[in-house]
Structure 1
């Protein structure tokens, strides 16, 4: 099957690395499973879904950290991994490798910038969830860069998608940032309540920031054209589909006035 996919000329042949092959399968499967869990009501314990997973009865209360500290912990290790790629001469000498490393660096720089200067926070994050999310971003960033490193010097895919990928990535970054800014403006200083988001694509879907997050990673995968990057996109899309479905369900349960025509992730479709 892998040979059939690469024969289309869209990807580099999979490198002879058991580690990358295993990580590609594990990443896609585990993220898809978490997405299904979100639909079933078992959420990663952060943001508005924290209360849904609070233990009841005599169970021990899990360790929590502030949302800002937790989200910085989500992204900073992956940011450092992206920055470390610039110390690898062969990767930096390759145009595609440079584009992928730069895209990852800009993405996680943007994430940390938003945590520090854009997002408004209302709760806490369970430490276990922060560790698992941080590790996922870190190890998948390392794997994407490692796959790109192994592809240096290999014959280029027949269809060159790195420049279209850069355009898709830029669209995703701008769209994601724009909708995060709209979300941040829902609350005045000191306000911890939730409101129905408005503006941008919020009139069509409740999670346009997730949609543009997927677009960001599609852009990275197009620039990379490795099966490892593609597996992360696929798994992330499944996860964010589940997360957006759970988010819409949460808003419907909290607001009687929630517009019935708004979809979860894809305008007019889903």
Structure 2
């Protein structure tokens, strides 16, 4: 990944994290939501972060040191979707939204869902153009659907 892209991604995640925490401090003292979704949110966040880590680990094993060749990822959910790490990242942000239950966190999650849907769609198109043997049944982000 180019350095300028990495810096931009890091800045975006830092800004989102900081603003989500700040939004929580603004809500101190306000009435709690009538339904507590904190514990399902914690479980969803843990599933999301673990799945994201695992699929990034699988991606890291694809390339040899100094190699420039591309391969079709295998293992995990890569047999069903080409971007399972995006799917699990979305689940992680959905968990954060359930934990915080603020309009801002749900808005951030919606923005991330739309962004990662677009990226996964483009990634699938790229793999289909690069590899003649790319399996047509492998979806972009959501198994069997999209």
Range into which the TM-score falls when normalised by the shorter chain: over 0.9
Give the Cα separation in 2 of the matches to 1:139 and 1:183: 26
State the partner residue of 1:13: none
Structure 2 residue runs without a partner (length 5+): none
State the partner residue of 1:181: 57
In the TM superposition, 1:80-229 aligns within 5 A as 124-125=2-3, 127=4, 129-229=5-105
CA RMSD of aligned residues (A): 1.3
Deviations along 1:246-266, one digit per CA (max 9) or x if unpaired, are 000110110000001100000
Give the Cα separation in 2 of the matches to 1:142 and 1:181: 27
* Inter-CA distance 131–187: structure 2 relative to 1 (3 Å threshold): closer
Give the Cα separation in 2 of the matches to 1:130 and 1:198: 25
State the partner residue of 1:48: none
Deviations along 1:133-170, one digit per CA (max 9) or x if unpaired, are 33322222221111100111211100100111000000
May I ask how many residue pairs the two structures share in their alignment? 146
Give the Cα separation in 2 of the matches to 1:238 and 1:184: 25
Structure 1 residue runs without a partner (length 5+): 1-66, 68-123
TM-score, normalised by the number of residues in structure 1: 0.52
State the partner residue of 1:265: 141
TM-score, normalised by the number of residues in structure 2: 0.94
Residue 206 of structure 1 deviates from its aligned partner by 0.2
Deviations along 1:54-77, one digit per CA (max 9) or x if unpaired, are xxxxxxxxxxxxx3xxxxxxxxxx
